Each structure stands twice: as structure tokens, then as C-alpha cells.
């Protein structure tokens, strides 16, 4: 991968190799096994070039409707990587792929409390995004 797991990711992947949150065949959150974490531009644009998106965004969770949660390993706050909304129609524009959690722990807590919905969408709408 070329980057180190932050403490939140290390704690998660030490215990689990991916996870499907909420029951059902169309689980709204499917955290990928570590071996399946790939650059977002490869997954979403089928190209590993700078024109296809940032090299430091990685798909870490598949969401409903072919969207993703992206780990931004190019930034860190308090030794944690933020997660971005991997909105397929807006990728790779950072405006359409805003930060939705400042850490994996924050993302996981929001996902678990969401009832299976994309918990950040209401806040983005209120911000005008």
C-alpha cells in the first residue's frame, strides 16, 4: 500500500478483516478486507493516473449505490486519516468528495448509529453541498 495504518485502522484490522454492517444482502456499509483496499482512482476511474484522481485516496468501505468511503492518507489530524465521501458522480472533485469523518473511529461510530443510512448527507445538505 505504501502507507501505514493509523491507530484506529490498526485496531480494527487486528480484530476484523472487513465487516458488513447491518443485515441483508445489500448491506449499506461493507468495510473492505485489508487485502482489497485499493486506490480510489483505480476502483472508481479504472486508471492509476493523476488525471484519474488523487494518488492518496483509498477505497476502504463500499456503500450503497456504487459509492464508497475513501481514506485520505495524504492528510492526518492527531495521527488519524480522514474519510471522504466517495460520491461516484462527483469523483475526483474534492468539492463533491468532502471529508465526512476525521478518523476511522468517527466514521465507524457514525455508521453504526446511522440505522443503515449515509449519516453525513444531511450535514452536507445543510452546508450547501
CA pair distance 80, 95, nearest whole angstrom:
21
What pLDDT digit, counting tens, does each position of 53-82 carry? 999 999 999 998 789 999 999 999 999 999
In the prediction, which pLDDT does 129 show? 65
What pLDDT digit, counting tens, does each position of 79-119 carry? 999 999 999 999 999 999 999 999 999 999 999 998 888 87
Which helix or strand (DSSP H or E) is residue 15 part of?
Answer: helix 7-15
* Domain 7-126 belongs in CATH node 3.40.1580: yes
Q: Where does the pLDDT of residue 3 fall: very low under 50, low under 70, confident under 90, or very high at 90 and above?
A: very high
- Locate the domains of the chain by residue range: 7-126
CA pair distance 1, 126, nearest whole angstrom:
35
pTM over 0.85: yes
Amino acid at each position: 500500500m505504501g502507507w501505514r495504518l493509523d491507530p484506529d485502522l490498526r485496531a480494527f484490522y487486528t480484530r476484523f478483516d472487513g465487516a458488513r454492517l447491518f443485515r441483508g444482502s445489500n448491506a449499506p456499509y461493507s468495510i473492505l478486507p485489508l487485502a482489497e483496499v485499493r486506490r480510489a482512482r483505480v476502483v472508481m476511474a479504472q486508471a492509476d493516473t493523476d488525471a484519474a484522481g488523487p494518488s492518496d485516496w483509498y477505497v476502504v468501505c463500499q456503500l450503497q449505490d456504487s459509492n464508497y468511503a475513501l481514506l485520505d492518507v495524504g492528510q492526518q489530524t492527531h495521527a488519524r486519516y480522514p474519510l471522504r465521501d466517495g460520491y461516484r458522480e462527483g469523483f475526483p472533485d474534492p468539492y463533491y468528495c468532502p471529508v465526512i469523518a476525521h478518523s476511522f473511529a468517527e466514521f465507524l461510530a457514525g455508521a453504526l448509529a446511522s440505522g443503515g443510512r449515509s449519516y453525513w448527507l444531511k450535514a452536507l445538505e445543510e452546508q450547501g453541498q
